[in-house]
């Protein structure tokens, strides 16, 4: 920490006239963190404020994330550390925005910064003060469930990792005496004299990412929250599930600490509820209740979770599969029913839940504990001083198509402050907001940055290996199952180990300084961290190594969590033994590590956007407006893509007008070169330097050179092959065809319109939810009612998934008399052609499955979205994967939603998954931001893990030349040896395994290094 502080400079004065190359990000949750990291990569200085004492937001409190059940802190913490260690991001905690004056490009922001009473520069986060603090307070990090002391580091991975004092409960401030903390603090960091201060910042753009406030369930007194101890909120339950939470992950209830067997989730508490003035859907509760049920069962197999719901809204990518698995394979019980009240048995504190079941009968059931799935509401004081508008629900108002744009130019919004949303959507919007900011301030790019100066790399050649080993406890994640001291002891006996110690969280910010200190103290020249997976944490520790003056490749990881403590939880002895073995393997390899040099390559500051639909055009425009030329390639002869068939957006906007305007902007934009009627033939090269061959229908080819690729090739509408007489009877149409008919003058008024949902979605062949069809149906039902008020409209559905503010449409539709009939999953409606009319038969779930017959003049099919059939052809050219459904698969479902794992290639729109137009736009602009982070660099640092040919051993057989998947190896005829182009080499090592002479070596995974691991495994076993 101090290393960074020492390097931090005052903000240089910007040139007058051009926009200020700095931005303010308000709110340090995952949205704010992503926006900050993107902005700084784009070349802007960033101020990141949070009203609390640390960044991290609600995501930092979550145990796991859906639908991959990944550890939330594990994926967030590296990003927090990245923020903390970046010289060009200043984190300002305990700060609120007082005023934003000025205009886009030149804002003056006034911050009110509350005193921390602890000097962040001096505090080491050692915790001595906390130990001596006499004041016990409920721990806000544990949602108030656990007890902590008044002076404390907010949570182990906090950034900044310094303590703070809450003056409202501090004995010194309330009673004028105490000061224990001052006495014990050896760093002399405590400062009661700190005063609130006003700070002014000059920035060119502002991104609002204040997140949400959880609904207060006391407003629903019938659920007894705050009265019955065993009724808790979902956020509190999240902490109970957390291994670092108040019960260390034991699923026990507050009243008596008894293990929970019967567990109920009550959905929509503070959502879809006009009685408490929260008419919107909170979008995430169905999924988090499912996740919490699964995790609870994982922690305690005897738990029987029941989720009481109205509709299960599993609308996102892979959500439906997650939900279906939870129900079918993990024993999560889903009960459709509205819970009307909860009573408590006084003696046992058990809870009686009354609910209206599917058939309208009142039922009562007893539970040990009830979790209220509380909704998301806008933070209080959301707009004060910001000069931006709010919508009718009190969230930040945004543009209809550009949902990341607030009502004030230069001020962007992201995350749940704009509408309730999940992590990937928040991250997407954050990147989009950063791109929008860049459009405004790009003339000030790189003007206010300070460059990170790493200490010179120590030359370790010739030194005997001195390996440092850290065994991470990861709270109880490792420490709870592996005897960590024993592993440390073993590590100390291994050859080459100069130092070994354990640490509660090796990834926390203070641990990084500790590591640097140990490297110096013990003259370490290799580092092994035995903790979690290198796939997420290796970069963090490598960065620490660099700041400690060592080459970052002198680092090896032993994964004793994912591959050990978590998978051998019932066998602590074996887990401990295995951890020792894994550590030995890592140490033996570490001894053979050598410093590697990273290459540099130039960047062609131009992008290729594949697909000229709404997503592709938005991505192209965003990049062009930030100053980068773009090739826009569309296979059809005109721009517009799928949106050409859509009349009205979900928000009621005229899509065709929007599209005409968008196409006009693209055509006008000088930096965009459009290639209509072109297909991609071949893509070569690598990040920074791609070469793409495109061909038009007459066979003319163009070779395009560019530094990044955005894939926006879209999806397509499912063609109902004769389902429900589609194509056979002209009265059977799709929603889009209905929209056309609604616009037709003189169209005949139908007496009865029947809509069928989930046609080509959520079935065996297409197991995903198409996300948009429910809203489309509801919107069109309203339009039918508008145009032909006499018409009867029936919507036959399974779950109505009008998430977020779309719920308003659903409610309005019901108010207008649209009839919604739910059919059981396994029994789709059937259609009979009776000549003059169509007759639809449906088993009505509300009538106990009784068949209802509906006459239809129009039968409207809500058809789903399908992946583009071309995807299979494009994926290998781009070297990117598809998921099981045939959509493109991003690098990380939560935190890298628009990136591919192939560097320099990004993803947006329907190619990723079904979504609405405005979501496609947001994703497109987010992808543009991510591409811009590549293009904005002058050069790219290439990996050190590449193949290398030892010329003296190479026999010149050329086998490796033929085997390289990236054509990175050429044959040097004069020397008669193979040669590797390190810019093209991806380090797969296919060549090395083919080289019988061992002349071709993959750095970091050398032959002798892997053999050393094999031998180490054997030695460990023989010990």
Partner 1 sequence: MAEANGRRNTADEDIRILAFLCNWCSYAGADLAGVSRLQYPAQVLDVRVMCTGTISPYFVIKAFQEGMDGVIVAGCHIGDCHYLKGNYMTAKRFQFLQRALEVFGIEKERLRLEWVSAAEGEKFANLIRDFTRTISELGPSPLRQGRKEVAVR
Partner 2 sequence: MKEKVAGAIRQALESGRAGAVLFLAEEEGKLIPRLVRDAGDPAIERAYVGDKRFPASAFAAISLPAVDGVLAVVGRECDRRMMNELAKLNHLDLERVLLLGIPCSQELADACGCDHPVPPEPVAEAEVRPAEALDAPSRSMDIPERLAYWMDHFSRCIRCYGCRNSCPLCVCKDCALEREELAGKDCFPPDIPVFHIIRALDMADRCIDCGICELSCPADIPLRELYREVRGLFKEHFGYEPGISAEDRSPLSFLGEAADLGAHE
Binding mask 945-964 vs partner 1 (x if CB under 8 A, - otherwise)? Answer: x-----------------x-
Q: Please identify, using beta-carbon distances, which residue of 92 and 994 lies nearer to partner 2.
A: 994
Neighbouring C-beta atoms of residue 885, cutoff 10 Å:
18
Q: Please identify, using beta-carbon distances, which residue of 788 and 966 lies nearer to partner 1.
A: 966
Length of the chain equals 1023
Residue-by-residue DSSP string for 615-677: HHHHHHHHHHHTT--EEEEESSSSSBGGGGG--B-TTS-BHHHHHHHHHHHHHH-TTEEEEET
Q: Please identify, using beta-carbon distances, which residue of 788 and 1005 lies nearer to partner 2.
A: 1005
**H or E, element range at 736:** helix 735-743
Q: Please identify, using beta-carbon distances, which residue of 527 and 593 lies nearer to partner 2.
A: 593
* 731 scored as a contact of partner 1 (CB under 8 A): no
Cα angle 469, 475, 480; round to 5: 90
- Tell me the C-alpha distance between 206 and 413, whole Å: 8
Q: Which of 214, 141, 273 is nearest to 420 (CA)?
A: 214
Binding mask 69-108 vs partner 2 (x if CB under 8 A, - otherwise)? Answer: ----------------------------------------
Q: Least distance to partner 2 from the beta carbon of 868, Å?
A: 24
Q: Judge whether 954 and 999 are in contact, CB under 8 Å.
A: yes
Q: Least distance to partner 1 from the beta carbon of 766, Å?
A: 18
* 300 scored as a contact of partner 2 (CB under 8 A): no
Helices marked H in 841-904 — which ranges? Answer: 871-878
Q: Which of 498, 419, 426, 503 is nearest to 465 (CA)?
A: 498
> How many alpha carbons fall within 13 Å on the CB side of residue 60?
27
Q: Which of 994, 1005, 1017, 1019 binds partner 2 (CB under 8 A)?
A: 994
Neighbouring C-beta atoms of residue 451, cutoff 10 Å:
9
- The 3-state DSSP composition of the chain as helix, strand, coil percent (nearest 5) reads 30, 25, 45
Helices marked H in 114-219 — which ranges? Answer: 128-132, 171-175, 180-184
- Tell me the C-alpha distance between 4 and 6, whole Å: 5
Q: Least distance to partner 2 from the beta carbon of 977, Å?
A: 10
* 1007 scored as a contact of partner 2 (CB under 8 A): yes
For partner 2 (CB under 8 A), the number of binding residues is 23
Site for partner 1 in 516-545 (CB under 8 A): 533-535
* 987 scored as a contact of partner 1 (CB under 8 A): yes
Q: Which of 585, 642, 756, 960 binds partner 1 (CB under 8 A)?
A: 585
Q: Which of 605, 658, 615 is nearest to 925 (CA)?
A: 615
Classify 796 as helix, strand or coil. strand
* 997 scored as a contact of partner 2 (CB under 8 A): yes
* 1007 scored as a contact of partner 1 (CB under 8 A): yes
For partner 1 (CB under 8 A), the number of binding residues is 58
* 875 scored as a contact of partner 2 (CB under 8 A): no
* 847 scored as a contact of partner 2 (CB under 8 A): no
**Residue 941 partner contact from partner 1, partner 2, none using kind-dependent CB cut-offs of 5 to 8 Å:** none
Classify 905 as helix, strand or coil. strand
Q: Kindly list the distances between the CA atom of residue 61 and the CA atoms of 156, 209, 221, 322, in Å, as whole numbers in the listed order.
A: 11, 17, 26, 22
Q: Please identify, using beta-carbon distances, which residue of 485 and 976 lies nearer to partner 2.
A: 976
Q: Least distance to partner 2 from the beta carbon of 954, Å?
A: 7
Q: Which two tokens stand for residue 890?
A: 């991003």
Q: Please identify, using beta-carbon distances, which residue of 16 and 996 lies nearer to partner 2.
A: 996
User: Judged by CB under 8 A, which stretch of 254-262, 366-374, 686-694, 1006-1014 contacts partner 2?
Assistant: 1006-1014
User: Judged by CB under 8 A, which stretch of 193-201, 345-353, 379-387, 1003-1011 contacts partner 2?
Assistant: 1003-1011
Q: Which of 90, 166, 216, 298 binds partner 1 (CB under 8 A)?
A: 298
**Residue 999 partner contact from partner 1, partner 2, none using kind-dependent CB cut-offs of 5 to 8 Å:** partner 2
Q: Which of 357, 571, 722, 815 binds partner 1 (CB under 8 A)?
A: 571
Q: Please identify, using beta-carbon distances, which residue of 571 and 763 lies nearer to partner 1.
A: 571
Cα end-to-end span (Å), the chain? 40
- Tell me the C-alpha distance between 1023 and 1004, whole Å: 27
Q: Least distance to partner 2 from the beta carbon of 959, Å?
A: 5
Neighbouring C-beta atoms of residue 744, cutoff 10 Å:
8
- SS3 of 95-133: EEEEEEEEECCEEEEEEEECCCCECCCCCCCCCHHHHHC
User: Judged by CB under 8 A, which stretch of 665-673, 760-768, 918-926, 988-996 contacts partner 2?
Assistant: 988-996
**Residue 952 partner contact from partner 2, partner 1, none using kind-dependent CB cut-offs of 5 to 8 Å:** partner 2
**Residue 192 partner contact from partner 2, partner 1, none using kind-dependent CB cut-offs of 5 to 8 Å:** none
User: Judged by CB under 8 A, which stretch of 121-129, 258-266, 704-712, 946-954 contacts partner 2?
Assistant: 946-954
Give phi and psi for 930, each to the nearest 5.
Answer: -65, -40
User: Judged by CB under 8 A, which stretch of 331-339, 832-840, 860-868, 989-997 contacts partner 1?
Assistant: 989-997
Q: Please identify, using beta-carbon distances, which residue of 800 and 999 lies nearer to partner 2.
A: 999
Largest alpha-carbon pair distance within the chain?
A: 92
The per-residue b/e assignment along 216-248, b for 16 or more CB within 10 angstroms, e otherwise, is ebeebeebbbeebbbbbbbbbbbbbbbbbbbbe
- Tell me the C-alpha distance between 250 and 136, whole Å: 23
Strand 838-844 to strand 708-711: parallel, antiparallel, or no bridges (unpaired)? unpaired
Q: Least distance to partner 1 from the beta carbon of 343, Å?
A: 35
* 302 scored as a contact of partner 1 (CB under 8 A): no
- Bond into 984 cis (ω within 30): no
Q: Judge whether 155 and 141 are in contact, CB under 8 Å.
A: yes
Q: Least distance to partner 2 from the beta carbon of 1011, Å?
A: 4
Site for partner 2 in 948-977 (CB under 8 A): 952-959, 962-963, 965, 976
**What letter does residue 819 receive in the DSSP assignment?**
E
**Residue 879 partner contact from partner 2, partner 1, none using kind-dependent CB cut-offs of 5 to 8 Å:** partner 1
Q: Which two tokens stand for residue 703?
A: 């070779």
Q: Which two tokens stand for residue 249?
A: 């992950």
CA 501 to chain centre: 33
* 563 scored as a contact of partner 1 (CB under 8 A): yes
User: Judged by CB under 8 A, which stretch of 619-627, 792-800, 826-834, 983-991 contacts partner 1?
Assistant: 983-991
Q: Least distance to partner 2 from the beta carbon of 952, Å?
A: 7
Site for partner 1 in 882-901 (CB under 8 A): 883-884, 901
- Tell me the C-alpha distance between 606 and 610, whole Å: 13
**Residue 959 partner contact from partner 1, partner 2, none using kind-dependent CB cut-offs of 5 to 8 Å:** partner 2
C-alpha torsion 268→272→277→283, nearest 10: 80
Q: Least distance to partner 1 from the beta carbon of 465, Å?
A: 19
Q: Which of 30, 859, 999, 1016 binds partner 2 (CB under 8 A)?
A: 999
Q: Please identify, using beta-carbon distances, which residue of 39 and 949 lies nearer to partner 2.
A: 949
Q: Kindly list the distances between the CA atom of residue 384 and the CA atoms of 27, 379, 396, 550, 997, in Å, as whole numbers in the listed order.
A: 14, 11, 12, 47, 70
**Residue 1002 partner contact from partner 2, partner 1, none using kind-dependent CB cut-offs of 5 to 8 Å:** partner 1
For binding to partner 2 (CB under 8 A), which residues are involved?
A: 952-959, 962-963, 965, 976, 990, 994, 996-999, 1007-1008, 1011-1012, 1015
Footprint on this chain of partner 1 (rule: CB under 8 A): 64, 68-71, 298, 533-535, 559, 561-564, 566-571, 574-575, 577-578, 581-582, 585, 876, 879, 881, 883-884, 901-902, 945, 963, 965-966, 986-990, 992-994, 1002, 1005, 1007, 1010-1011, 1013-1015, 1017-1018, 1021-1022
């Amino acid at each position: 920490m101090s290393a960074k502080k020492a390097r931090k400079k005052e903000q240089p004065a910007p040139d007058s006239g051009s926009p200020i190359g700095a931005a303010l990000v308000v709110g340090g949750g995952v949205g704010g963190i992503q926006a900050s990291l993107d902005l700084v990569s784009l070349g802007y200085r960033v101020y990141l404020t949070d009203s609390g004492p640390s960044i991290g937001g609600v995501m930092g409190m979550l145990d796991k994330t859906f639908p991959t059940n990944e550890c939330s802190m594990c994926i967030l913490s590296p990003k927090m550390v990245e923020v903390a260690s970046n010289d060009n991001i200043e984190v300002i905690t305990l700060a609120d925005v007082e005023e934003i004056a000025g205009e886009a490009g030149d804002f003056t922001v006034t911050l009110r910064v509350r005193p921390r009473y602890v000097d962040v520069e001096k505090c080491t986060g050692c915790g001595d003060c906390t130990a001596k603090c006499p004041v016990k307070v409920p721990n806000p990090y544990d949602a108030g469930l656990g007890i902590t002391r008044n002076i404390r580091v907010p949570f182990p991975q906090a950034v900044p990792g310094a303590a703070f004092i809450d003056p409202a409960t501090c004995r010194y401030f309330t009673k004028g005496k105490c000061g224990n903390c001052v006495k014990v603090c050896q760093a002399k960091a405590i400062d009661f004299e700190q005063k609130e201060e006003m700070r002014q910042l000059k920035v060119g753009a502002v991104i609002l990412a204040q997140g949400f406030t959880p609904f207060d369930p006391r407003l629903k007194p019938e659920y007894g929250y705050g009265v019955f101890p065993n009724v808790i909120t979902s956020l509190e339950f999240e902490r109970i599930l957390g291994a670092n939470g108040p019960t260390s992950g034991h699923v026990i209830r507050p009243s008596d600490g008894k293990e929970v067997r019967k567990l109920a989730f009550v959905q929509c508490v503070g959502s879809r509820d006009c009685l408490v003035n929260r008419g919107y859907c909170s979008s995430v509760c169905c999924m988090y209740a499912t996740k919490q049920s699964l995790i609870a069962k994982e922690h305690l197999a005897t738990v029987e979770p029941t989720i009481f719901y109205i509709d299960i809204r599993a609308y996102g990518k892979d959500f439906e599969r997650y939900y279906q698995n939870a129900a079918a394979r993990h024993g999560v019980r889903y009960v459709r029913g509205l819970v009307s009240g909860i009573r408590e048995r006084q003696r046992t504190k058990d809870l009686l839940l009354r609910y209206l079941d599917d058939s309208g009968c009142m039922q009562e059931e007893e539970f040990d504990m009830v979790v209220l799935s509380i909704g998301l509401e806008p933070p209080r004081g959301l707009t004060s001083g910001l000069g931006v508008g709010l919508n009718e629900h009190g969230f930040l108002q945004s543009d209809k198509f550009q949902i990341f744009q607030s009502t004030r130019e230069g001020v962007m919004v992201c995350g749940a402050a704009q509408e309730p949303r999940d992590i990937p959507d928040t991250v997407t919007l954050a990147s989009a907001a950063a791109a929008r900011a860049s459009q405004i301030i790009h003339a000030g790019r790189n003007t206010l940055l300070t460059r990170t100066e790493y200490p010179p790399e120590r030359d370790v050649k010739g030194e005997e290996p001195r390996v440092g080993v850290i065994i991470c406890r990861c709270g109880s994640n490792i420490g709870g199952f592996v005897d960590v001291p024993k592993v440390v002891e073993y590590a100390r006996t291994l050859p080459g180990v100069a130092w070994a110690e354990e640490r509660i969280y090796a990834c926390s910010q203070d641990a990084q300084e500790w590591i640097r200190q140990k490297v110096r103290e013990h003259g370490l020249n290799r580092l092994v961290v035995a903790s979690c997976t290198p796939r997420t944490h290796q970069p963090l520790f490598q960065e620490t190594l660099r700041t400690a003056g060592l080459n970052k490749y002198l680092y090896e990881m032993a994964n004793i969590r994912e591959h050990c403590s978590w998978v051998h939880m019932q066998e602590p002895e074996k887990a401990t033994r295995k951890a020792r073995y894994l550590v030995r393997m890592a140490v033996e390899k570490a001894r053979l590590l050598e410093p590697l040099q990273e290459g540099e390559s130039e960047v062609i500051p131009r992008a290729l956007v594949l697909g000229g639909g709404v997503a592709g055009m938005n991505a192209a425009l965003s990049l062009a407006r930030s100053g980068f030329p773009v090739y826009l390639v569309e296979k059809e002869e005109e721009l517009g893509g799928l949106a050409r068939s859509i009349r009205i957006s979900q928000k009621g906007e005229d899509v065709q007008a929007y599209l005409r305007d968008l196409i006009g902007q693209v055509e006008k934009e000088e930096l965009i070169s459009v290639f209509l009627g072109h297909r991609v033939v071949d893509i070569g090269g690598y990040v920074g330097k791609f070469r793409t061959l495109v061909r038009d229908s007459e066979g003319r080819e163009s070779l395009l050179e560019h530094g990044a690729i955005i894939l926006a090739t879209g999806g397509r509408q499912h063609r109902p092959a004769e389902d429900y007489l589609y194509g056979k009877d002209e009265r059977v149409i799709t929603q889009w065809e209905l929209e056309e008919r609604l616009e037709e003058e003189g169209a005949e008024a139908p007496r009865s319109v029947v809509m069928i949902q989930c046609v080509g979605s959520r079935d065996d062949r297409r197991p995903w939810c198409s996300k948009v069809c429910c809203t489309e149906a509801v919107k069109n039902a309203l339009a039918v009612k508008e145009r032909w008020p006499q018409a009867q409209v029936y919507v036959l559905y399974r779950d109505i998934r009008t998430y977020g503010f779309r719920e308003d449409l659903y409610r309005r539709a019901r108010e207008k008399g649209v009839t919604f009939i739910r059919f059981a999953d396994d029994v789709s409606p059937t259609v009979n052609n009776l000549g003059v009319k169509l007759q639809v038969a449906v088993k009505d779930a509300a009538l106990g499955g009784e068949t209802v017959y509906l006459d239809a003049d129009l039968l409207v099919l809500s058809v789903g979205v399908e992946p583009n059939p071309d995807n299979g052809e494009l994926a290998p050219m781009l070297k990117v994967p598809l998921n099981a459904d045939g959509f493109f698969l991003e690098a990380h479902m939560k935190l890298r939603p628009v990136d591919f794992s192939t560097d320099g290639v990004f993803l947006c729109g329907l190619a990723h998954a079904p979504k609405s137009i405005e979501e496609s736009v947001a994703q497109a602009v987010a992808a543009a931001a991510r591409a811009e982070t590549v293009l904005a660099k002058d050069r790219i640092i290439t990996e050190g893990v590449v193949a290398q040919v030892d010329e003296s051993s190479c026999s010149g057989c050329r086998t490796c030349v033929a085997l390289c998947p990236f054509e990175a190896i050429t044959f040097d005829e004069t020397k008669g040896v193979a040669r590797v182009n390190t810019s093209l080499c991806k380090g797969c090592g296919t060549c090395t395994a083919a080289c019988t002479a061992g002349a071709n070596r993959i750095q970091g995974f050398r032959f002798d290094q892997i053999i050393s691991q094999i031998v180490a495994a054997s030695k460990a076993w023989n010990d």
